[in-house]
Amino acid sequence: MGGGLVGRPRLVLAVDGGNSKTDVAVISEHGEVLATGRSGPFAPQRDGVAAAVGVVRRALDALEPEAVPEGGFDHVSACLAGADLPVEEEALAREFAARGFGRDVVVRNDTFALLRAGASAAWGVAVVCGAGINAVGVSPTGAVARFPALGRISGDWGGGQGLAEEALWHAVRAEDGRGLPTALTGLITSHFGTATVEELVLEVHFGRVSEELLHELSPGVLAAAGDGDAVARSLVERQAEEVTAMAEVCLRRLGLLETPTEVVLGGGMLTARDPLLTSLLDSSFAVRTPRAKPVLADLPPIVGAGLLGLEHLGAAEGARARLRARYEPPGRG
C-alpha cells in the first residue's frame, strides 16, 4: 500500500460492500473525507471471501497513492452484504487483516451501516429492502437482534428479486390458466421481449437469461399495483407486511415495542418512495408498532460505516457531524 505521513491523524477505511457496487471512503479521525472510490459488487457467498475482498482492494488501488497509508489503516470499518452470520464476519475480517488493510478490523453486515447512517443515535432498528430483505436492531444497551437472512430457507420473502420471482410465478399461472388474470403477464413479456411468459421461463431454465435479471421487474410490479392490478397489489401488500414484521420482531426481541424508536428504512425498493408501498407501510407500522418512528434513509450507507469507525476510535462529536455534513443532501440542515 502507499505511503503515509509521520504524525498524521488516525485514518479510518470505511467500506460499504453491496450487491450492486462497493464504496470506500478514507476518513480522518476529525471526520474529513480524504478520498472515495467505487468498484464492483461485493459477493462473498458467490465469489468467495478472497475475491470479494479483492473488490475492495481494486477500489483502493484506483485512489491516489498518498490516500492509502503504508502499513494499513488505523481502523477498518467494513459493512458488507453477504456477512450474514458471525462466522462470515470473522472470516472476512481475517481476510482484510491478512491482506494488509490494517490490524484493527471490524466487519458487520451492511444493515448496520444503514442503521447508523439513518438513525439520530447509535441505536434503533433498520430494515433494508433492495435486491433482498434484511433487518437489524440495536438497543440503547448495545444488545443486537438480527436474522440469518439466507433467503427463503431462513424465512425471508421479498426485496426486488423475491418480488419479481413471485410476479413471474403468478404470470405463468395466469397465462396457462391455473391462476387469475394479471397485467404482470404483459409486463414480463414486454420487458424481456418474449412472445409468452413460458418462453422467458425456458430462457431462464436453459441459462440464456440470468435469473438475477428478474429483479428489473420490480418497478413494473409496483406500477401495476398502483394502477389497480389485484395480483400485483397483493404482492406489494405482502411486501409491506414483511418489512413491518421484521421491524416488529427486532423491537420485540430488544424490549423496545413500548419505547419510541427510530426504524430506518433503506434499499432501492423503499427509497424509491413508491406511493402505494409507502402508504401501506405507514398504515402497517401505525397498527403493529405504533411507538416506532419510521425514517427513510437519506444518507448513503458509507456514512454509517464511517460513523461506526469514528466511534470505534473515540472521535469527537464534531468529527461525526463533519462526516454527516459531507454527505447531506442539498437543502437539508
Q: What is the pLDDT at residue 332?
A: 58
Instruction: Give the pLDDT score at 2.
Output: 43
Tell me what pLDDT residue 8 has.
79
The reported pLDDT for the residue numbered 4 is 41
- Residue 26 CB burial class (10 angstroms; 0-12, 13-18, ≥19): buried
Residue 197 is placed in which grid cell?
411468459
CA-CA distance, 132 to 20, in Å (whole number)? Answer: 12
33 membership: H or E segment, kind and range? strand 33-39
Pairing of strands 292-296, 261-266: parallel
Written as tens digits, the pLDDT of the chain (333 aa) is 444 445 679 999 999 999 889 999 999 999 999 999 999 999 998 999 999 999 999 999 999 998 999 899 999 999 999 999 999 999 999 999 999 999 899 999 999 999 999 999 999 999 999 989 999 999 999 999 999 998 999 999 999 999 999 999 999 999 999 999 999 999 999 999 999 999 999 999 999 999 989 999 999 999 999 999 999 999 999 999 999 999 999 999 999 999 999 999 999 999 999 999 999 999 999 999 999 999 999 999 999 999 999 999 999 999 999 999 999 987 655
Q: In this structure, how many other beta carbons lie within 10 angstroms of the beta carbon of residue 186?
A: 15
Contact between 45 and 74 under an 8 Å Cβ cutoff? The reply is: no
pLDDT at 331: 63
Rounded-to-5 percentages of helix, strand, coil across the chain: 50, 15, 35
Q: Classify residue 217 by its DSSP letter.
A: G
State the pLDDT at residue 19: 83
Q: What is the pLDDT of residue 20?
A: 84
* C-beta separation of 250 from 139 below 8 A: no
Q: How far apart are CA 89 and CA 44, in angstroms?
A: 11
Q: Grid coordinates standing for 232?
A: 400485483
Contact by Cβ (8 Å): 221, 182: no
Max Cα separation, the chain? Answer: 73
pLDDT at 6: 52
Which residue, 80, 72, 81, is CA-closest to 104? 72
